[in-house]
Structure 1
Amino acid sequence: MESAELPNAGRAEAGGLPEGGTEAAATPQLDLDRLPAGVVAGNALIDFSAATAPTVRSGVSTALLFASRVADAARREGDDEDDWLAAYKTNLGKLGFLVPQTSISVSRFKKQGVSVHKAIIPFLTIAFGGATLGPVILAALNNLQEADKDKAWITLFDRETRKFKAREMHFAAVEAGVAETTIRHVVARLIIEQDEVNVLFFRITSTTAEFESATTTMSADNSLLAALEPRLRKRMEEEIGDFIAEAKV
């Protein structure tokens, strides 16, 4: 992991939202040792409501962020969203995560003129195996209609979905046991034909009704997560330090 290439931008994005799925007027600086129940790490919105141990929360969020950053750095001309996702999962496997085969389904929305964040809730609920897993994510999506779309965590999450022509939203519901942590990772992919500024506030039309989801149930040893986190954090802090030192101002 010390030799893994990271993007030159030197940014390690992370943002948090409270237990209820909405945010206060200002986003506080995240303490990686005391993460809230819902955070944005890279391009994933993570639900930690079923994983209360600080070492699990920081270990999972840092590993997912690191895997995302390395996949970003590995992108080459001509790569598409499938190439990026394959690199992302490969990176997690190299970090010690057990990443089994992904279940993929393609659906079409029955209702037209509905906002994306509302339309994907039923699909996401099924992918999580019911409403008992991922309640912070589901609450956040339900509350988006009343929330300010310029809030920091929404803006960050929306921006990170727009890597390719197909817009992808990554969601991860984390459940921690005594020795092992399980991550139900869901990718929601929308093929957007017209140029839109925001994905989550986009309204589905007859030409953009196809929805593809990929669900992977990953797992990681809790002791491994605790050992990984400080090394990954140090590696990304070094990249940020190099960026600050070399940036022209």
Structure 2
Amino acid sequence: MNTEDVTSYIEQVELASPEESMLLAGEDLPQFEDWTPQGAVVDSNLVTYPEGTRLSVKNAVGAWLLFAQRAASAKVPDKEDTIGWASAYHDTLLRTGWVQRGQTDAWTEENLTGSKVHEQILAVVTVVLGAAPAALAIVTAALKSLQAMDQESPWITLFDRRGKDATAVGFQVANCEASDDGGAALHAVDFRLRAKQTLTQVLFFKLTRNEASLFRRGVVLELTPDVLKDIGPAIQKRVRADMLDSIAAIDLAVPAPN
């Protein structure tokens, strides 16, 4: 990877702006902290950070995910093109230093008949992250924390912002594992939601008939310490003005392992 080429791409790539401002800076929201297990809504993604994750890694990874989402939305403005959006999102991460570990799983379809989206997501992450109990526990805690919130809370409104008033949306649920040497790995599940009626609340969307499908695939991405150090500042510089409007930390009470 040529650092100068990557930095040049970061500086020049087009980033979409959200249709409405959240003004999260005016909300009484948790702050990111060193070592503390936390979750975060990053635009329309959910990412969790286990105990021991440095603040610098949380800030860098959050900025990277925000940058990739904004780049994907600029490249694929059609909200209905969830496959194109997901591909552009991953392409942006790979072009800016993330490395894919193994092959990405094929898209698998899940029907939403009689269930809400967050319930189906919980079922999916249990299967995909089941081999990593610590990751499964903190992602489950984050989803349940969102479930317990008022559906007009800033976290839910932020997560819904891109998918609101559309019939399709792409998003990701991921756990960020920081390595001892200062790198990071994302154990993630990509989701695409397609419905026959307009979405109003993505996470709590519910249908009683077979009118919506949820597609998912698993992926693991890694970021080396050198890339985080060399490229991270350029990423954060591009989205710094948007971070307070697009990233909201979640305090978690992570359940003890069984």
TM-score (norm 1): 0.77
Q: How many residues align?
A: 230
Q: What residue ranges of structure 1 are gaps of 5+ in the alignment? A: 17-25, 241-249
Q: Which stretches of structure 1, 4 residues or more, deviate above 3 A after TM superposition? A: 8-16, 29-36, 76-79, 143-146, 160-164, 237-240
Are 1:106 and 2:115 an aligned pair?
no
Partner of 1:188: 191
Partner of 1:246: none
CA distance in 1, matches of 2:192, 2:54: 31
Return 118-127 or 84-93, whichever deviates more: 118-127
Partner of 1:37: 38
Report 1:69-218 matches (<5 A). 69-76=70-77, 80-99=81-100, 100-109=102-111, 112-130=113-131, 131-162=133-164, 165-179=167-181, 180-208=183-211, 210-218=213-221
Q: CA deviation at 1:11?
A: 8.4
Whether contact under 8 Å (1:14, 1:42) holds in the other structure is no
Structure 1 SS opposite 2:198: coil
Partner of 1:243: none
Amino acid at match of 1:155: T
Check 1:46–1:52 CA distance in 2 against 1; reply closer, same or farther (3 A cut). Answer: same
Q: CA deviation at 1:10?
A: 9.6
Check 1:126–1:162 CA distance in 2 against 1; reply closer, same or farther (3 A cut). Answer: farther
Q: CA deviation at 1:61?
A: 1.0
Structure 1 SS opposite 2:71: helix
Check 1:239–1:168 CA distance in 2 against 1; reply closer, same or farther (3 A cut). Answer: closer
Structure 2 SS opposite 1:62: helix
Q: What residue ranges of structure 2 are gaps of 5+ in the alignment? A: 1-9, 244-258
Q: CA deviation at 1:56?
A: 1.6
Q: Which has the higher contact order (CA 8 A, sep 6+)?
A: 2
Whether contact under 8 Å (2:166, 2:198) holds in the other structure is no
Whether contact under 8 Å (1:117, 1:144) holds in the other structure is no
Q: CA deviation at 1:15?
A: 7.1
Q: CA deviation at 1:53?
A: 1.4
